[in-house]
Amino acid sequence: MAIEDDVLVVGGGLAGTTAALAAAERDVQVRLVSYRQSTLRNASGLIDILGYTPAGDGPLVDPFEALDDLPAGHPYERVGSEAVREALAFFDGIVGDAYAGAHTDANALVPTHGGTVKPTARYPTSTAAGLASDDRDALLVGFETLPDFEAPLAASHLEAAGAPFTARGVTVRFPGIGRDDAKVTRYAHLLDHDEPVETPAGETTAREALAETVRTHLEGESRVGFPAVLGDDRADAVRADLGDRLGVDVFEVPMGPPSLPGIRLEDLLYEALEAAGVRVTTGVPVVDYETDGEGADATDPERIDRVVVDRNGAEVPHRATQYVLATGGLVGKGVQSERDGVFEPLFDCHVPQPADRYDWFVDDVFGDQPYARFGLPVDRDLRPLDAADDPEFSNLRAAGAVLGGYDFAAEKSGSGVSLATGYVAGRRAAEGCR
Amino acid sequence: MPRDTGVLVLGGGSTGCGIARDLAMRGLEVTLVERGNLTDGTTGRMHGLLHSGGRYAVSDQASATECIEENEILREIAGHCVEETGGLFVQRPEDSDEYFQEKLEGCRECGIPARVLSGTEAREVEPYLAEDVARAIEVPDGAVDPFRLCVANAIDAENHGARVETHAEVVDLLRDGDDIYGVEVRHESGPGKRTHAAPGTTEEITADYVVNATGAWAGQIGAMADLEIEVRPSKGVMTIMNVRQVDTVINRCRPKGDADIIVPHETTAILGTTDEEVPDPDDYPEEQWEVDQMIDTLSELVPILEEARTIRSFWGVRPLYEPPGTGTQDPTDITRDFFLLDHADRDGVAGMSSIVGGKFTTYRAMAEEIADHVCDKLGVTASCSTADEPLPGSENIETLEAGMDDFGLRSPVARRSMQRLGSRASEVLETDEPNPVICQCEGVTRAEIRDAISQSGSDLNAVRIRTRASMGNCQGGFCCQNMANELHPTYDEETVREALDELFQERWKGERHALWGEQLSQAMLNYALHATTMNRDRDPASATGDVDFAAFDGGRAASDRVDGTRGAD
Ligand SMILES: Cc1cc2nc3c(=O)[nH]c(=O)nc-3n(C[C@H](O)[C@H](O)[C@H](O)COP(=O)(O)OP(=O)(O)OC[C@H]3O[C@@H](n4cnc5c(N)ncnc54)[C@H](O)[C@@H]3O)c2cc1C
Ligand SMILES: Cc1cc2nc3c(=O)[nH]c(=O)nc-3n(C[C@H](O)[C@H](O)[C@H](O)COP(=O)(O)OP(=O)(O)OC[C@H]3O[C@@H](n4cnc5c(N)ncnc54)[C@H](O)[C@@H]3O)c2cc1C
């Protein structure tokens, strides 16, 4: 017996969860199947809409102004700028106070752990006091045992980038971290639970000890930034507590993987899925599909009848009326490659690509990289298109990084595209069930 | 006229560094200049095979004999650079029995320990060998780290008083009539350790004698003094796998051919190579078919290579030489022996000799012969001691292994650090400061990175070749930034930024040749980390034009802020 739902979303990253939530709002039964951890754990937790035009102009103050000028085939062009706004409003509703930035259309400039600044549209509240487009002086604090963030270097870098305030950096020992290779979750746990720690002055608690360590370095700055390790489950309380003790605003600088702000966002989205009644199956891949043979004549695209989920070797059919493909790009493995070609592994949807592997890249590492645009072309309904520009299937839509035609890394548009296309794909899928 | 130095050695590859060490140990005053980093030429772009001599046992027995002698010496004096992997010459059904027999007899004639294994026995040693491998000859091939060995020679030369200048390109030979008496060099960032962003300078260095050890570039140096040196640069490709499919060097037992050796190297296995003459050692095509050929051909020996992940490919250029008039067509037929060209005898121009050809494995013997020649020219009587004195890092390896200490590191990290550092381990790793891992793939800690920085200035590629940091699976995606962080505060922000950009771009250069499957996914992840998370591709600090910060979202209203000011919105 097949498992039956109205909408089946394959992939549980930002695009897939958004699609599932958007569909579930329309009173249809939604299931989400996801295999491995999503890209959210690698990503900074920032929600970029558009920081630079595809030609590289920017940083853009207003991302929305630029949306209408994007080239045909760009995912934003496919869904239209109004859908981008709606999707963002939908996201704001889901995350509530956990994110900021909704009070303006303007991008914020957020300091990165490399000391550069980058334009983004929504940022975790934990980052809010740290904006580089805020003109208050800042103290950046790094930890001797966390080599990813060299605070004094980041501070000089901010200055070189022209940030409108004085930034200083100090490196301190994190009280209570004994091991040189402790994971970021260990730092977060210490602060979440305010664990007892030994200091030269005797036993105290983790937050108090950290505040004491930092206090001596303050020179009148009204905000203090730390690498993003300030708690996991109780991040707000940790920040507030440190802020109270130091009499400053405390913020986090987003970091590379594993990224706590990304993990926090993931947790939030999965809570929302549960609240919305979405059936979630994780840890298992969708491995195959079957069509029902209908519409297989020259003009009509085929319909997917069911997909097959591999549950530890057992092949379990899952049937739905509409399907959303949100399996990610090269990072999420929704787009894969071999020496002689790039392909979409599940439905074998068409992936445009230069025939010669040596045309997949350019020699400048930050040049206009063709591989960064690999992914599926879609119609305005987000249905993947075959080489002849016809829909591959009548009831399959694609969303997020699996889409082609944009370089999210250069444009700074990753999460925005996942939200906008996830939202539209989810809505249309639900509508298609009627 | 007094000269700046006794002997001036041009080129910081294995040959140049070996000569500098040898002469310095004999008490001569030595200066070495290298246009890039040490090993930037062929030495850093070779296959990493410490030849047993087996490869040459049929075609060139003199070379084979020299290889086995030097192989044994290097295991002693450079133990921390050598892994005693052993090697196999494997025979496939289509490879001739006759050649197999000649190879076996050749090895025995040259004093190379050799033993025949059946196909089954060979697969017991190397389980991934193809099912139809018929038999194999076991020889004492090894794996050698050319970076570590070359740098150790340079350090030892310095320990014996030599001056070693990297990023110092020879731009002219100083010639007075029929006498060469020095060179003019261009220092990329002034003399001494390299600092990015520091201005360049030029310097004339005069010497009693000049040794041109610039390998494939020797002809270019010669041309500066109107001397013709007929180097025939020949390129070869090598493809690096992300794991060691084999723990033994695997050679194909057939007369000669491309893509016939696999060398296990640290955490990787390296496939190679080809032999194709190129006009310019600095500018030659690096092509897809060459990479494909490595995988396709060597899969015949080790079938899982077909599906395996490669992390990068690189090319090197052999400094082949043959005396004028020999006229060999196929570069694989040109001798691997080396030639010492004394320009006084050859061209009537005194004061300089050039060395071309040769092999890495025999660098020490070459250096000895050249140093003898130089001493002869200068009327110095001093004998060579490089075969007896261990290199820095290889002193008292036994005591080191006996008294294993983990320096507070996780044991896999400690083990790998000590393999790299050898007898220098405690000097480098003993610290009261926190010592976190900077490069996870290769297990390189902060202390080791800082030690390398203290040797090589702000040059992160020089740090890389000393430590292997950024040479693993992620190809620097995760650790380049952290390596750069360690340069601060010794070097300022702008210097650090340039150093990081240079390393990241260098890593990409080789990774381009491995862009499919897992490594293409890795490349996208790396790109996202650097461009998306850090915005390093559009860094306002490096861009022209100012950013109008006030026009951007400055955060929320006054009530939320500690100091009561408003943001820019
Ligand atoms: C390092 C990094 C940093 C980033 N930083 C930012 C940033 O600062 N700001 C920003 O806006 N964006 C950022 N992004 C981009 C953004 O995170 C991604 O574009 C976006 O998250 C992609 O989401 P997705 O849902 O399409 O794909 P993914 O998050 O990749 O999710 C795909 C999911 O599908 C699953 N899956 C794949 N195949 C199958 C299958 N057959 N069956 C079941 N499940 C399957 C995968 O396991 C995975 O869980 C970053 C990306 C990276 C890689
Ligand atoms: C593909 C390939 C694989 C190989 N595999 C092996 C192997 O497995 N085992 C083995 O034993 N041998 C091997 N070899 C051979 C070995 O690598 C070389 O013989 C050896 O490294 C040559 O060293 P070198 O010092 O003579 O030359 P190089 O290392 O090239 O040194 C010359 C130096 O001169 C510098 N230079 C050039 N111009 C100037 C200038 N104007 N001013 C200052 N400096 C300058 C260059 O930057 C360079 O660093 C291989 C060679 C190749 C090409």
Q: Which distant-in-sequence residues (6+ apart) come within 8 Å of B501 by Cβ?
A: B536, B542
**Residue among B43, B147, B364 to mutate when testing ligand 2 (max atoms within 8 A of CB):** B43
B201-212 and B5-10: which strand pairing? parallel
Confidence of residue B544 (pLDDT cuts 50, 70, 90): confident
Is the model's pLDDT at B557 over the cut of 80?
Answer: no
Among candidates A387, A309, A272, which has minimal Cα distance to A24?
Answer: A272
Angle at A124 between CA A120 and CA A129, to 5 degrees: 85
| Number of residues assigned to chain A | 434
Among candidates A185, A337, A235, A257, which has minimal Cα distance to A37?
Answer: A257
Say if the Cβ atoms of B533 and A156 lie within 8 Å.
no
Residue B436 touches chain A, beta carbons under 8 Å: yes
Tell whether omega for the bond before A204 is within 30 degrees of 0, i.e. cis.
Answer: no
For A129-154, how does the pLDDT look when each residue is reduced to its tens digit (9 = 90+)? 999 989 999 999 999 999 999 999 99
Give me the sign of the Cα torsion angle B343, B23, B459, A182.
Answer: positive
pLDDT (0 to 100) of residue B440? 94
Residue A122 touches chain B, beta carbons under 8 Å: no
pLDDT (0 to 100) of residue A295? 58
Task: Please tell me the pTM assigned to this model.
Answer: 0.93
pLDDT (0 to 100) of residue B447? 96
Out of A245-249, A414-418, B327-331, B383-387, which region has the weakest mean confidence (pLDDT)?
Answer: B327-331
Give me the sign of the Cα torsion angle B420, B423, B424, B427.
Answer: positive
Please give the single-letter amino acid code of residue A209: A
Residue B306 touches chain A, beta carbons under 8 Å: no
3-state secondary structure at position B438: strand
List the 487-516 stretch of B: residues with Cβ below 8 A of A: 488-489, 492-494, 496-497, 504-505, 508-509, 512, 515-516
Q: Which of B436, B555, B567 sits opposite A147 (nearest CB)?
A: B436
We find that the CATH architecture of domain B80-141+236-311 is 2-Layer Sandwich (3.30)
Which run of H or E residues covers position B564?
none
For B67-108, how does the pLDDT look when each residue is reduced to its tens digit (9 = 90+)? 999 999 999 999 999 999 999 999 999 999 999 999 999 999
Q: Give the C-alpha separation, A311 to A326, whole Å.
A: 19
Task: Tell me the chain B residues in contact with residue A412 when contact means C-beta distances shorter than 8 Å.
Answer: 532, 535
Say if the Cβ atoms of B538 and A365 lie within 8 Å.
no
Q: State the nearest Cα–Cα gap between B493 and chain A, in angstroms.
A: 6
pLDDT (0 to 100) of residue B568? 40
The CA–CA distances, whole Å, from B217 to A161, A239, B27, B202 equal 41, 60, 28, 20
Confidence of residue B401 (pLDDT cuts 50, 70, 90): low
Q: Give the C-alpha separation, A328 to A401, whole Å.
A: 5
For B234-253, how does the pLDDT look when each residue is reduced to its tens digit (9 = 90+)? 999 999 999 999 999 999 99
The burial of B546, by beta-carbon neighbours within 10 Å (0-12 exposed, 13-18 middle, 19 or more buried), is given as exposed
Q: What is the mean pLDDT of chain B?
A: 93
**What phi and psi, each to the nearest 5 degrees, are found at residue B101?**
-65, -40
Angle at A184 between CA A50 and CA A195, to 5 degrees: 130
pLDDT (0 to 100) of residue A245? 97
pLDDT (0 to 100) of residue B556? 72
| A/B interface, count of CB pairs below 8 Å | 246
Residue B188 touches chain A, beta carbons under 8 Å: no
Which residues in B114-221 belong to E strands, given as ranges? 115-118, 135-139, 142-144, 163-165, 168-176, 179-187, 201-212
pLDDT (0 to 100) of residue B567? 46
> B33 in ligand 2 pocket by Cβ < 6 Å?
yes
Q: Report the separation in Å between the CA atom of B50 and the middle of ligand 2, taken as the mean of its atom positions.
A: 15
Which residues in A195-303 belong to E strands, given as ranges? 196-199, 202-205, 223-227, 249-253, 279-282, 286-291
pLDDT (0 to 100) of residue B399? 56
We find that the CATH architecture of domain B5-42+147-230+336-378 is 3-Layer(bba) Sandwich (3.50)
Q: Give the C-alpha separation, A259 to A228, whole Å.
A: 8
Q: Report the separation in Å between the CA atom of B250 and the middle of ligand 1, taken as the mean of its atom positions.
A: 40
Point out the ligand nearest to the CA of residue A411: 1
Say if the Cβ atoms of B547 and A135 lie within 8 Å.
no
Q: Determine the atom of ligand 1 nearest the C-alpha atom of B524.
A: 53
Residue B285 touches chain A, beta carbons under 8 Å: no
Q: State the nearest Cα–Cα gap between B304 and chain A, in angstroms.
A: 15
Residues in the ligand 1 pocket, defined by CB under 6 Å: A 10-16, 33-36, 38-40, 42-44, 46-48, 285-286, 326-328, 331-334, 346, 400-401, 408, 414-415, 418; B 525, 528-529, 532-533
Q: Which distant-in-sequence residues (6+ apart) come within 8 Å of B557 by Cβ?
A: B566, B567
Say if the Cβ atoms of A119 and B552 lie within 8 Å.
yes
Q: Determine the atom of ligand 2 nearest the C-alpha atom of B40.
A: 49
Among candidates B344, B336, B381, B327, which has minimal Cα distance to B362?
Answer: B336
Is the model's pLDDT at B415 over the cut of 70?
Answer: yes
Confidence of residue A178 (pLDDT cuts 50, 70, 90): confident
Q: Determine the atom of ligand 1 nearest the C-alpha atom of A256.
A: 1
Is the model's pLDDT at B407 over the cut of 60?
Answer: yes
Is the model's pLDDT at B325 over the cut of 80?
Answer: no
Residue written as tokens 């569909």? Answer: A23
Say if the Cβ atoms of B536 and A114 lie within 8 Å.
yes
Residue A365 touches chain B, beta carbons under 8 Å: yes
Angle at A234 between CA A231 and CA A240, to 5 degrees: 85
Q: Report the separation in Å between the CA atom of B526 and the middle of ligand 1, taken as the mean of its atom positions.
A: 14
> B217 in ligand 2 pocket by Cβ < 6 Å?
yes
Residue B532: both structure tokens together: 């998306």
Task: Tell me the chain B residues in contact with residue A129 when contact means C-beta distances shorter than 8 Å.
Answer: 555, 561
pLDDT (mean) for B370-395 = 95
Q: Which of A153, A222, A333 sits opposite B488 (nearest CB)?
A: A153
CATH 3.50.50.60 residue spans of chain B? 5-42+147-230+336-378
Q: Report the separation in Å between the CA atom of B17 and the middle of ligand 2, taken as the mean of its atom positions.
A: 11
Q: State the nearest Cα–Cα gap between B473 and chain A, in angstroms.
A: 15
How is residue B324 annotated by DSSP? T
Residue B552: both structure tokens together: 């951007």
Point out the ligand nearest to the CA of residue A45: 1
Q: Give the C-alpha separation, A111 to A107, whole Å.
A: 13
Please give the single-letter amino acid code of residue A247: G
Task: Tell me the chain B residues in contact with residue A133 when contact means C-beta distances shorter than 8 Å.
Answer: 549-555, 567-568
For A322-381, how does the pLDDT look when each residue is reduced to its tens digit (9 = 90+)? 999 999 999 999 999 999 999 999 999 999 999 999 999 999 999 999 999 999 999 999
Q: Report the separation in Å between the CA atom of B94 and the middle of ligand 2, taken as the mean of its atom positions.
A: 34
Task: Tell me the chain B residues in contact with residue A414 when contact means C-beta distances shorter than 8 Å.
Answer: 528, 532
How is residue A314 annotated by DSSP? E
Q: Are B441 and B473 in contact (CB under 8 A)?
A: yes
Q: Which distant-in-sequence residues (6+ apart) come within 8 Å of B162 by Cβ?
A: B20, B21, B23, B24, B29, B30, B31, B32
Q: Give the C-alpha separation, B82 to B298, whole Å.
A: 24
Beta bridge partners of A279: A31
> B476 in ligand 2 pocket by Cβ < 6 Å?
no
Rg over CA atoms, chain B:
25
Say if the Cβ atoms of B494 and A336 lie within 8 Å.
no
Percent of chain A, pLDDT > 70?
99
Domains and CATH numbers, chain A: 3-99+263-431 (3.50.50.60), 113-253 (3.40.50)
Among candidates B528, B476, B529, which has minimal Cα distance to B505?
Answer: B476
Task: Tell me the chain B residues in contact with residue A228 when contact means C-beta distances shorter than 8 Å.
Answer: none
CATH 3.30.9.10 residue spans of chain B? 80-141+236-311
Q: Give the C-alpha separation, A170 to A155, whole Å.
A: 9
Say if the Cβ atoms of B529 and A256 lie within 8 Å.
yes
Select from B453, B552, B565, B569 the residue whose CB has the most chain A CBs within 10 Å, as the one to mutate to test that interface.
B552
Please give the single-letter amino acid code of residue B326: T
Point out the ligand nearest to the CA of residue B48: 2
For atom 15 of ligand 1, the residue with the nearest CA is: A414
Please give the single-letter amino acid code of residue B37: N
**What phi and psi, each to the nearest 5 degrees, are found at residue A143?**
-115, 140
Residue written as tokens 């494995």? Answer: B361
Out of A414-423, B224-233, B560-569, which region has the weakest mean confidence (pLDDT)?
Answer: B560-569
Q: Report the separation in Å between the CA atom of B217 and the middle of ligand 2, taken as the mean of its atom positions.
A: 9
Produce one character per residue of A85-102: b if its CB has 16 or more CB atoms within 10 Å, e if not: ebbbebbeebbeebbbbe
pLDDT (mean) for A89-115 = 96
Q: Which distant-in-sequence residues (6+ apart) come within 8 Å of B167 by Cβ?
A: B34, B35, B36, B37, B187, B188, B189, B194, B459
Residue A110: both structure tokens together: 């957020």
3-state secondary structure at position B235: strand
| Number of residues assigned to chain B | 569
The burial of A363, by beta-carbon neighbours within 10 Å (0-12 exposed, 13-18 middle, 19 or more buried), is given as exposed
List the 461-480 stretch of B: residues with Cβ below 8 A of A: 478
Residue B481 touches chain A, beta carbons under 8 Å: yes
The CA–CA distances, whole Å, from A374 to A64, A74, A146, A403, A405 equal 24, 12, 34, 8, 7
Select from B295, B533, B536 the residue whose CB has the most chain A CBs within 10 Å, as the one to mutate to test that interface.
B533
3-state secondary structure at position B271: strand
pLDDT (mean) for A283-299 = 82
Please tell me whether the interface predicted TM-score (ipTM) of this complex is above 0.95. Answer: yes
For A30-67, how does the pLDDT look when each residue is reduced to its tens digit (9 = 90+)? 999 999 888 899 899 999 999 999 999 999 999 999 99
Q: Number of H helices and number of E strands within chain A?
A: 11, 21
CA B368 to chain centre: 21
Say if the Cβ atoms of A133 and B550 lie within 8 Å.
yes
